[in-house]
Every structure is written in structure tokens, then in C-alpha cells.
Chain A
Amino acid sequence: MAEIVKPQTDQPESAQAHDAHAHHGEESFWSKYVFPTDHKMIAMQYMFTGMAMALIGGFMVYAFRMQLAFPGIDVPLYGVVTPNRYNALVTLHGTIMIFWVAMPVLIAAFGNFLIPLMIGCDDMVFPKVNRLSYQIFLLSAIVLVVSFFVEGGGFGGAWTAYPPLSAKAEYSQTGLGSSLWLVAVTLEFIAFLLGGINFVTTAMNARAPGMGMYDIPMVVWMIVIASVLFMASVGPLIAGAVMLFMDQNIGTAFFDPDKGGDPILWQHLFWFFGHPEVYVVLLPAMGISADIICTFARKQLFAYKTFLYTTFGTGVLSFTVWAHHQFVAGIDPRMANIFTVTTLLISIPIAEMCFIYIATLYGGSIRLTTPMLWALAFVAEFMIGGVTGIFLGASGADVYYHDTYFVLAHFHYTFFPIAIIGTFAGFTFWFPKMFGKMMNETLGKIHFWGTIIPFNCIFIPLFMLGSAGQHRRVYSYENFPDLAQPQFQDLRVFATISLLVMLGFQLVFFYNCFISWRKKEKDAGKNPWRSNTLEWVAESPPPHGNFPELPHCYRGPYEYGTPGREEDYFPQNLPA
């Protein structure tokens, strides 16, 4: 019964590849760019859609931070931020950044581009399902954007969508927007379930001959584990989304306390997914940083197996911490005790992974290229986020901190490194492979500092404001006497101006992308960073089919500085 499907002929794989692709013939514009099955092109589609959504999410930040710094102002290019619009802006900013920026870029774009290349095969195992997953994702993005323009505007019930606010149009005042939001999120989940199955199956089954479990580059492992975590955690929320949609539109009462339902059930359904979700986006960013740090420290990852098993442990533990988001929601305090313990416990494996980065760097021959700067910044900034999480994980302290800007600053010190720093790290590192051209290092470094310094200037004031008791999700503090004091308003203004500076510096990035992409000559070569992993064996950019002859793998991915070798790196595909 458990027969292995034999390849169609007895030809070696490379000859098969040649035959298979000989049938491809001419690809039209439509089949190459609009309806591709090639994983690299699908990766580009996810990347650009994610970046476009990031612009929208970033614009939203601009609008609501202007309101917070200058209450009542007519925000240039937006208009007046009314309370309803404020709610919609913060809701959609959060939703977009997590589901339509972090996930598509870190998992779908990098996953799609890198996995087949890094494991040495010619495409994902299910190219058409891959294409379908992008199409569903694109549809979800369109549905979400459409929701901004319907009557009532976009959903304003926070990305956590707690009922009854999210269930009853009379409360949220965004009846149609709420439903469209739910539809968009559910479609996005389905897209990532499909995509995730592709990533996991490809990584499990399609590896190059000789590539054992411990020879897989960390970024591939991380994306695969993230996909598994996603798959295991999103189920209850999909059920919950169906229930909430029905509460919104049909009049069921799953979460309606007036009719015997329980809003806390939604919270649990949401956070059972919501907490593993943050690890779903964290893991790929950590994988990207691992690969970059090893390459630019010219050193082996300090403890590959430990790093890997710690990640497994983190993944399992991540399913046991979710109610720390609900400490003050009315859950049983004894349950809160349990979740405090698990939450504090989970900081240990993550800290260990950060220590492994540091141990990898120690004694290394460090080159501070732009990708390396981003990877190092990821570790440093993320650790700040992680440490501040400890305060929130202790239920006693959380009674004070919950729903203040302390929480907000904490999760931006984790999410920003994940979604933005991690993305820039990966993008600047693999740009030469994707486009065949090197990015400008000087511009890259200007962009780096122009992002990192303002980033800290935005969020450190927010820690201070949160400790002072500033509540979240309030459109103006003018009517809160103790929060409206000048020293606090000054902090808000300072944060907003830092945001404007940071947004300004992103133009440097776009300019760099543009001029690098437009270079006439492909100056990157196959392996500009002299890295070990298999994607650097292919041409830059890799052709359809990736490798003229599919590579064999002879060693692990981080053999740098091997004694006795002339070169300080040892590519995986070289026999000896």
C-alpha cells in the first residue's frame, strides 16, 4: 500500500527536468507574471502585495498618530480623524500589519522564494495550489480594502474583534465593514493554510539527496515550523469567525450574553490562535537572522540542534500561554496563575535562541554589511520587546499594565523587529539573488540608521506614557486631565515627529531598490556574500527550474571557517 511513486522515467533527475521544461514553450505575459506557477514569481507577487499593504498600514499610522499629537487637526492627505475613523484606523493598521504584511512577506514571499532553492529542487511540490493560495490571498486583500469604502467605513472594533462590539452593528457602527473584515481574514487564513501545506510538504519530501534533517538551513526550518504552528492554531478561530459572522448577520447568539451566549468564548477562540500567531511570524524572522549572522560572522551557528529543539519546545509551549491576553477579562484567577507560569517559562527558550546568536557572533569575523546590521538590530530590539513582556506576563503587574501603551510599546518592540527589521534583513540579503544586482551599501546604511533611531524614539516614549497610565484605543487625551498634561503631550508629539522622520527615510529604501533594480549590468554574480546554502549555487536570478542540474548536499548549512580549507566557507553542494 505504501508504494513510492516512481519518477516517470529512469532518466536522471536533470534530464527529466530538461524534458519537462522543454514542453513549457513560450510563456506569455499572463502566464509568467499574472498567473504564474513558478515559486519565485509567486514569491514576488506576495512580496509586492505585502509591501503595498504595508504602505496602506503605514499611512494609517501616520493619520492616527497625527491625531494623537495634534488632536482635532485636519491631517494632510487624510482629513479630520473622528473617533469612529480613529477606531477604524487603529483596527485596520493592526490587522493589515499582521495578516497582510508580516505573514505574506516573511512566510509566503521568503518561504516561496527560498525553500525550493535552499533544499535544492526545481519548484514547490504543488505549483498550482501555490498559485491558488496567492489568488485567494489577493482576493482577501481586495475584500479588506473594499471594506474601507463601504457605508460606515472599515471595521473599528480592534484587530481582536471582541463581541458584542464586533457582533452588533449598533455598537460598532460599521456593520458591513465588520462582516467584510471577517470575510477577508477568513480568506487570508485559507490562503495560508494552502500555502503552508505546500511549504511543509516540499521541505519534508523534496530535499536534495544527502540533505538530512540537520543540514536544512535554519530559515527553512523556521518557516516550516511556523506553518505547522499556524495550521494547528487557526482551526478554532476559523470556527469562531464563522460563528461571529453568523452573529453579525443572521442573528445567532454564540457570543451574545443577552441570549445565553458567552463573549469570553470568542476571546479564547481568538487568543488560542493569536498567541501562537506571534510565534508564527517570529520564527521566520529568527531564521532569516540566523542565516545572515552566520554568513557575516563567517562562523557556524553556535548550536544548531539546540536552536532547533528549542524552537520545537517554543512551538509547543506557545499553545499554553494564550490567556495572558485575558488576565483582566474575567477569567478564573487560578487559571491566570497557570498562564503566568507558562508565559514566564516561554521567555526562556526565546532568550536561549538570542544567546545562541550572540555566541555565534563571539569570535567571528564580523562584516557589518547592511543585511548584517538589520539582523543584529533584530536581535537587539527584539530582546527589549521580550524583556518588557515579562512585566505583562506576570498577571499581578498586568492588572495595571493591561490596555495601556506599555502593552503597545512591548508588542511593537517585538512586531516591528519581526515584520519590518526582519523583512529588510531578508530583502537586502537576498536581493542580489532575486534580481541579480547588488543594492547600494551606503544608501542601505543610511536607510538602516534612519529607521532604527526613529523607531526607538517612537516607542520608548510610549513605554513611559503607558507606565503613566495612558489607555489604548483612545482617540484623544484632551479630556483626561492627568494624561493631558504638557509633559505627556510632548511625548506624544515627539513620538509622532519621530514617525514622520522614519517614514521619510523609507524613501531612501525605495530609491535604493529602484536604482539597484534598474542597473544595466547584473553585477551580483551567483554568490556575492560567499554563503554556503544552496540558493547561492543557482544563477542570479535563478531561471525557471532553478538549477540546470539539481544539486546534491554534502554537509550542513553553516560550515564557515572550516580548518584546512583555503576558503572560509564550504558550500553545501561541493563534494569535498
Chain B
Amino acid sequence: MSEDAAHADHHQVNYVRIWLILLGLLIVSVAGPFLEIQVVTLVTAFGIAIIKAYLVAKNFMHLNLEPRYAVYLLLTMLVFVFLFFAAVAPDVMKHEGQNWVKPRVEVVEAPVHH
């Protein structure tokens, strides 16, 4: 038990530190768009999201301590999501292709009350 307690102390410092890093990343991702450079916005928004998710998964969910198959399981599910996107996007995302068009529909946006 004492070994666990020592272990725990070591980790306690880490958890708060990780949290501070996460908050820092959050601030960067909110600030990014203000530069109004699209690439920067995308990188700060999604790149940081990936990093934040990785930090939470590794340090809070302790995936670094779990048997490897847990990680493989979760990554496989992610692969399926990407597979789904890759195979469906050519139909749903595009508005025209070989011998077909998907006409854009003009949606009248609801009146805005301030």
C-alpha cells in the first residue's frame, strides 16, 4: 500500500499539471481564429483537439497502463469511423460527379431577433 501511496503522490502532481496544460491548449485554440488565417485556425482547433484528447486518454484514462489490446480496440473503432467517412463522403459531400449533380438548395435563414 505504501508503494501505491508513493505512486499516487507522484501522479497527483502530474494530474494537476496535465490539467494546466489542457487549459493552456484551450486558450490557444480559442485565440487561434483571431489571427484569421484559415490554416492556423484549423491547426489550432483540430490539432489541439487531438492533442487534448491524447492527453486525457493517456493520463486520465490511464491507457498507457492498460494492456495494449484496449488501445487497439479503440483505435480500430476510430478506423471504422474514418472508413465510413471516406466511403460515404464522395456521395454526400460532393455536389456533382460523373454524370450527376446534387443541386444546392437555398435555405432561407430564419429571421434573427436581437
Contacts and interface: CB of A to CB of B under 8 A. Distances in A.
User: Do A's and B's CB atoms come within 8 Å in the complex?
Assistant: yes
Interface stretch (B17-25, B38-46, B48-56, B101-109): B101-109
A259 B102 CA distance: 12
Contact of A2 (B65, B76, B87, B92): B65
Contacts of A272: 84, 88
B62 interface: yes
Contact of A232 (B76, B87, B100): B76
B98 interface: yes
Nearest to A260: B105
Interface of B: 7, 62, 65-67, 76-77, 80, 83-84, 87-88, 90-92, 97-98, 100, 102, 104-105, 107
B110 to A, nearest CB: 12
Contacts of B7: 1
Given A331-B90, A332-B98, A333-B98, 8 more contacts: A233-B80, A260-B104, A268-B84, A268-B88, A268-B92, A272-B84, A319-B80, A319-B83
Nearest to A333: B98
A258 interface: yes
A332 B90 contact: yes
Given A232-B76, A232-B80, A319-B83, A1 B62 contact: yes
B42 to A, nearest CB: 24
Q: Is the interface of A mostly helix, strand, loop or mixed?
A: helix
A268 B98 contact: no
Interface string A247-275: 00000000001111010110010001000
Nearest to B104: A260
A334 B100 CA distance: 13
Contact of A257 (B83, B90, B105): B105
Nearest to B11: A1
A331 B90 CA distance: 8
A258 B105 contact: yes
B6 to A, nearest CB: 13
A320 interface: yes
A262 B77 contact: no
A1 B66 CA distance: 9
Contacts of A486: none
A330 interface: yes
A193 to B, nearest CB: 13
A332 B105 contact: no
Contact of B102 (A233, A236, A262, A319): A262
A323 interface: yes
B91 A331 contact: yes
A320 B83 contact: yes
Contacts of B77: 232
A177 B69 CA distance: 43
Given A236-B84, A259-B105, A323-B87, A334 B98 contact: yes
Contacts of B65: 1-2
Contacts of B76: 232
12 contacts: A2-B67, A257-B105, A259-B107, A260-B105, A260-B107, A262-B92, A264-B92, A268-B87, A330-B91, A332-B97, A333-B98, A334-B98
B56 to A, nearest CB: 16
Contacts of B87: 268, 323, 335
Nearest to A231: B77
A265 B94 CA distance: 12
Contacts of A330: 91, 100
Contact of B92 (A236, A259, A265, A333): A265
Given A1-B62, A1-B65, A335 B91 contact: yes
Interface in A352-384: none
A265 B104 contact: no
B10 to A, nearest CB: 12
A331 B77 CA distance: 25
B18 to A, nearest CB: 15
Contacts of A331: 90-91
B107 A265 contact: no
Q: Which of B62, B76, B88, B97 has the most CB of A within 10 A?
A: B88
B64 to A, nearest CB: 10
